[in-house]
A and B are shown apart, each in its own frame.
Chain A
Amino acid sequence: MPKEVFIIWLVAKIILILLVFIGLLLTIAFLIYAERKLIAFMQSRIGPNRVGPIGLLQPFADITKLFLKEDLTPAGADRFLFILAPCISVFTAFMAFAIIPFGRDLIIHNVRIPLQITNLNVGVLYLLAIFAINVYGIVLAGWSSNSKYSFFGGMRSCAQMISYELPLGLSMVGVLLLSHSLSLRSIVAAQSRHWFILMQFPAFIVFLISSIAETNRAPFDFPEAETELVAGYHTEYSSFKFAMFFMAEYASMITFSALAVTLFFGGWLGPSFFPPFIWFLLKVAAMLFFFIWLRATYPRLRYDKLMMFQWKVLLPFSLIWILITGAMII
């Protein structure tokens, strides 16, 4: 690689990483606002409307409030792990987004710059590994808080997330079989004729259910079930550490939406009247709306039913579906 080409590439990459990071932060802020506003509409309320026009500055007010609050550490807590836990959560939530492709390659001075932070040839497995590490954030938070509610929340979420990682991984296998690749870029490219959801609709349903369980969102929000566990694993957290858990939850929601779009809805591909990047944003926004819609619609399930459902229904079903997909390809 010649020197100028390398410099252009490097600068473009750094700018890209910064843009993705800031973009994610802003999306998280406005996603929280959008969630509150949408759920308010669905429940015939008004929602936040005091700060700024139609409440648009609410996320910034919330962030400032969280910054200024007192940072408490419970007595008997393990201080180091108590700080480490939210860091792991945020770190993994942001790391997972690094391999999502969100647009056609840019060409600047004959240098090709893909709109994706990095393209790994083991992309999907990398994502699964990151989601596996994500469990530690919640489990350690539950343990290090030295509180019964936190501990139960942590244990529950540990069991729930490990269980649902299996169907999550298996639901992607059909897509991998069809696209002959683990790299997300090639998966998007393989959907140029038709989206994989047409052939993989059952796998998409499995993916959707497990991704809701993985992000600990309603109706599967047992780790933080407020009616029985106060706030689950983050009961003892306050101030900015609490904000970090909050950010991690919404960041992983965005990542799972982007992943669903990439695997099943053709990524950034779409008719040419919008640029590819806008298509990607629209699809992700639709998925996020679906997440919020679910929260407003369904009540929380019972915990043992959730685990039974995974091991006795979802797992056998996704295994059989892999067999069917394999047979279809051969």
Chain B
Amino acid sequence: MGLIIFLILGILSVFTAIAVVVEKRPVYSALYFIANLVVLSLIYLTLHSEFLAVVQVLIYAGAVMVLFLFVIMMMPPVVENRFGKMSFQKFLIMPLLLIFLFELVYVLSCGLYASAGKSPSSLSFENFGGIVSLGQLLFKRYLVPFEITSLILLVAIIGAVYLRRSEQ
């Protein structure tokens, strides 16, 4: 049962991810991206991390992509000749893709090697993926990185506001 659900969701996520790139109309491209995010959040749900699933929809689909769509809707419905000016992209993409694939295989094999001896239950702890355990980790073990991240985000927000003002 779990495998069938994963297969359906996996095929859907790959399909929507390819459609984002292949689609010619920008609004549909953005919508496929949103569909991809929703499918990913469903995969998180099957892995019992409800918090991550909901936050994925809330932050990415609900906040980030709405602003993307907001800008895209100002453009003409079909953008012609997208690859006209930056033709060097075609030559750059192959080596970059190879490096990325190599990284992916390396990380996955490392993860598989590390978890090979352990049973799944020893990897998870009680209430895995729930808000309580996540909060404990964020505010106890990873407190300093968490606070530094929030500081960087604050700097980014103030920077964005400043740049917008100085343009006027």
Contacts and interface: CB of A to CB of B under 8 A. Distances in A.
Contact of A121 (B31, B61, B130): B130
Contact of A165 (B51, B55, B62, B77): B62
Interface stretch (B3-11, B16-24, B63-71, B145-153): B63-71
B164 to A, nearest CB: 14
Nearest to B69: A139
Contact of A78 (B55, B66, B77): B77
Interface residues of A, number: 24
Interface stretch (A52-60, A128-136, A249-257, A280-288): A128-136
Contacts of A162: 63, 66-67
Contacts of A31: none
Contacts of A120: 50
Contacts of A131: 62
A128 B66 contact: no
B39 interface: no
Contacts of A149: none
B28 to A, nearest CB: 8
A132 B62 contact: yes
Contacts of B50: 120-122
A81 B27 contact: yes
B62 A133 contact: yes
Contacts of B66: 132, 135-136, 139, 158, 162
Contacts, number: 59
Contact of B27 (A122, A128, A129, A143): A143
A307 B77 CA distance: 29
A126 interface: yes
Nearest to A154: B73
B70 A132 contact: no
A257 B130 CA distance: 28
Nearest to A180: B132
Contacts of A182: 131
B62 A129 contact: yes
Interface in A139-181: 139, 143, 151, 154-155, 158-159, 162, 165
Contacts of B73: 139, 143, 151, 154-155
Which of A81, A125, A154 gathers most chain B CB within 10 Å? A125
A135 B77 CA distance: 20
A182 B131 CA distance: 9
Contacts of B54: 122, 125-126, 129
Nearest to A132: B62
Which of B61, B69, B73 gathers most chain A CB within 10 Å? B73
B47 interface: no
A131 B131 CA distance: 20
Nearest to B60: A132
B42 interface: no
A155 B66 CA distance: 11
Nearest to A161: B66
Interface in B63-93: 63, 66-67, 69-70, 73, 77
Interface string B126-137: 000011000000
Contacts of A143: 27, 73
B34 A136 contact: yes
A233 B27 CA distance: 17
A121 B73 CA distance: 36
Contacts of A132: 57-58, 61-63, 66
Interface of B: 27, 31, 34, 50-51, 54-55, 57-58, 61-63, 66-67, 69-70, 73, 77, 130-131
Given A78-B77, A122-B131, 11 more contacts: A78-B27, A81-B27, A81-B31, A121-B131, A122-B54, A129-B54, A133-B61, A135-B62, A143-B73, A155-B73, A162-B66
28 contacts: A78-B77, A121-B50, A121-B131, A122-B50, A122-B51, A122-B54, A125-B55, A126-B54, A128-B62, A129-B54, A129-B55, A129-B57, A129-B61, A129-B62, A132-B57, A132-B63, A132-B66, A133-B57, A133-B61, A136-B34, A139-B69, A143-B73, A151-B73, A154-B73, A155-B73, A162-B67, A165-B63, A182-B131
